[in-house]
Chains A and B, each alone.
Chain A
Amino acid sequence: EVHLVESGGGLVQPGGSLRLSCAASGFTFSSDWMSWVRQAPGKGLEWVANIKQHGDEKHYVDSVKGRFSISRDNAKNLLYLQLNSLTAEDTAVYYCAKVTGGAFEWGQGTLVTVSS
């Protein structure tokens, strides 16, 4: 069974940085694309970024390009999202997801709040 556990969320000031982690288990982590998806309070889902199996291909939604960076450590079964230059619009629950054949399987999420 796929098990994904996000961590690293919290309160951060505008302009600040945060690194989110996602610990994966129950599947062969190095075999799958992984994604981050976020959900602002009371809003819908927004795909943020994804990374290929060995980290040699990455993609981002336009609104985070140049500010966020996705990475992975296949030896440790960990997915990361580095968030820089944060604004209030980045406040959201951030979910990591395993992506296979277009099917997203989700963790429980970690809340990032950007506020002074």
Chain B
Amino acid sequence: QSALTQPASVSGSPGQSITISCTGTSNDVGDYNYVSWYQQHPGKAPKLIIYGVSNRPSGVSYRFSASKSGNTASLTISGLQGEDEADYYCCSHTGSGTWVFGGGTKVTVL
């Protein structure tokens, strides 16, 4: 049950695109399409922004997109905006009914 690996921080200027990686193993990210992403602003609860690898819930901006290749999932934020400054977490099913989160990535808008 080791945490998925995410970069500690990623930054970009307004309007740019950034990508956050989430690396697991063949026992989690690589084996299941139950990969999701969450945005968390300081002092707030996490918010679902991507589920099922690449699906956006209703109401989530089209600027958020995601994909998976092998044991690595990726979240891309395009047209970066100030409101995107937050922590982002990936999550994957690990089999046997358990789940694991990534360590989190702090996104800074320069």
Check if A and B associate.
yes
Count the B residues whose beta carbon is within 8 Å of the partner chain — how many? Answer: 29
Q: Which residue of B lies closest to A50 (CB)?
A: B97
Bound: A45/B51 CA distance, A: 17
**Interface size range on A against B:** 20 to 34
Q: Are A47 and B45 in contact (CB under 8 A)?
A: no
The verdict on A101 contacting B51 (CB below 8 Å), with A44-B3, A45-B104, A47-B91 known, is: yes
Residues from chain A with a CB closer than 8 A to the CB of B63 are none
Residues from chain A with a CB closer than 8 A to the CB of B89 are 44-45
Q: Which residue of B lies closest to A63 (CB)?
A: B1
Q: Which residue of B lies closest to A48 (CB)?
A: B99
Residues from chain A with a CB closer than 8 A to the CB of B100 are 47
Residues from chain B with a CB closer than 8 A to the CB of A95 are 45-46
B41 at the interface (CB under 8 A from A): no
Q: Mark A70-103, 1 if CB is under 8 A from B, else 0.
A: 0000000000000000000000000100010111
Closest-CB distance, A108 to chain B (whole angstroms)? 5
**A102-B93, A104-B38 given. 13 additional CB < 8 A pairs?**
A44-B3, A45-B46, A47-B100, A50-B99, A57-B97, A95-B45, A101-B34, A101-B51, A102-B32, A102-B35, A102-B36, A106-B47, A107-B45
